[in-house]
Amino acid sequence: MTGEQARGRPRSEEARRAILNAALEIAAEEGYSALTIEGIAARAGVGKQTIYRWWPTKADVLLDAGAAKAELRVPLGDHGSYAADLRAFLTASYKMANDAALSDLLRALMAEAQLNPVFGERFRRDFLERRRDALGVIVDRARQRGDLPSRPARGVVLDLVFGTIWYRVLATRRRLDKALVDDLVAVLTDGA
């Protein structure tokens, strides 16, 4: 019996969309730190309570709003070799990271994850771990192919790839480019 019989007025899909759009717009136009629940409610033409009823923090609204857009852009198709798979993954990733709106969003979410431990946990589980799993598929496939160098360990590969990307996004603010991809692939595949 899945069906708890819904009673009363059903949730408004229109309000939901208006909230997510408003959040993305404000974040894009004025920056994440200018984003407030009050502002979202005002722009969406929605009561504050409607937001609080469905999302615990403004970061969750944003995470929800950004989910569809960022999801599934990463190709996991088999390109025949570890190096080729890696290259495809990295290239797709750096296109995301070089999208200013998207990287601003990610930086804000990562920041919020540090400041709010409860959101941090959700962010890690719902976003970061999924990304790790995606790259993990590539690594596991390489291992099965016998394509994977003995070092570094599987976990370290993930740390190293995502660490480098995130560090450029958060710290140096330099664009990710083909040279970086080449170096990372070389390093992880024994310079083949």
Partner DNA sequence: GTGTAATCGAGACGGTACGTCTCGTCTTCTC
Partner DNA sequence: GAGAAGACGAGACGTACCGTCTCGATTACAC
Question: Nearest distance from residue 16's CB to DNA, in Å?
Answer: 7
| Distances, alpha carbon 161 to alpha carbons 2, 50, 67, 117, 168, in Å | 41, 39, 21, 24, 11
Out of 1, 3, 5, 151, point to the residue binding DNA (CB under 7 A).
Answer: 5
Place of tokens 């595949």: 189
Using CB under 8 A as the binding rule, whether residue 162 contacts its own copies is answered as: yes
CA torsion angle for 137, 141, 144, 150 (degrees, to 10)? -80
Using CB under 8 A as the binding rule, whether residue 100 contacts its own copies is answered as: no
Question: Nearest distance from residue 52's CB to DNA, in Å?
Answer: 5
Residues 118 and 14: their CA atoms lie apart, in Å, by 28
Q: Could you tell me which stretch among 35-43, 107-115, 136-144, 153-161 binds DNA (CB under 7 A)?
A: 35-43
Using CB under 8 A as the binding rule, whether residue 137 contacts its own copies is answered as: no
C-alpha dihedral sign at 9, 11, 13, 18? positive
Q: Which residues bind its own copies (CB under 8 A)?
A: 32-33, 107-108, 110-116, 124, 128, 149, 151-153, 156, 159-160, 162-168, 170-173, 179-180, 183-184, 186-188, 190-191
